Amino acid sequence: MSSVNLPAVRTYLLGLQQNIVSALETAGNQDFLRDEWIRAEGGGGISRLIEGGDLFERAGVLFSHVKGKTLPPSASAHRPEVAGRAWEAMGVSMVLHPRNPYIPTVHMNVRMFVAQAPSGSSQEDIFWFGGGMDLTPYYVFEEDARHFHQTNKDALTAHNPTAYAEYKKWCDEYFFLKHRNETRGVGGVFFDDLSNNGFEASFALTRSVGDAFLPAYMPIVEKRRNLPYGERERDFQAYRRGRYVEFNLVFDRGTLFGLQSGGRTESILLSMPPMAAWRYNWQADAGTPEAALQPYLQPRDWF
């Protein structure tokens, strides 16, 4: 197994956070707040955020590098061999909630875990990378979804010709609300436990995913940001944001890991929308723009 280069990963992630924040500040003509924090058990992070912006009603681009003495259950459930090990985790995680309902909500995350070998043993550190991005529109434009998927496919194919198909399927299955029998949005790519090809190859693929975010998402923002909307569209946006909350609190492994590991609650829950709504047994009227979303909430091929 190739050696793990934690400083290189940290440097890349900090640069990625800054590049994304700079692009979003330019697009929204608004500076992100900066909140640096320290974790008592070890490590810390930098939260960059906007609340109440004209373009982004809420946006968080978070860097964290945290350490702990024992991996929590959410991290070791699929890898029982690492249970009880000391660990380090670092990553960039972001969720953008635009104000205009015609711009999709988007999530992106790239991360690395290291489960350290027990002191004095002959075992090795165990590392893995994970990440991905997914798009959650309220009003679907097929050309936007295809652009988002094509950008991810191009980024992955340079490293592995089968990765897009595998990671797209993984995303469809992961971001699925079982109790609603629907996907969170129109998907994207998702991967985890990436380590089989060694550190350098795994890190290179992860970088490609992180670097693909801006070209995948920002053209959609520019295309839709000036579309007019009213209370009807905002009301539907709030209703669909309720689904986002349900997924994050019930199914999301990152949220569970953060809370179980004693993570910083304010940063973990920054992914939540600023406003959301629920209604009892509500359905959009047939033939309306709101009803047009439902057929897209099942896995589909975009090419």
Q: Which two tokens stand for residue 131?
A: 């990440």
Q: How far is CA 220 from CA 31, 52, 135, in A?
A: 21, 21, 11
* β strands within the chain, DSSP E: 33-38, 43-51, 56-68, 87-98, 105-115, 126-136, 176-177, 182-183, 187-194
Distance CA 166, CA 302 (A): 14
Name the residue with tokens 């089989």.
196
Distance CA 193, CA 6 (A): 17
User: 106 near 136, Cβ under 8 Å?
Assistant: yes
Active-site choice (65, 97, 107, 149): 107
Q: Is 107 a catalytic residue?
A: yes
Query: How many other β-carbons are positioned within 10 Å of the β-carbon of residue 110?
Result: 28
Return the ∠ at Cα 106 (arms to 100 and 111), rounded to 5°.
Answer: 155
Name the residue with tokens 């690395």.
112
Distance CA 28, CA 8 (A): 30
Residues that are catalytic:
107
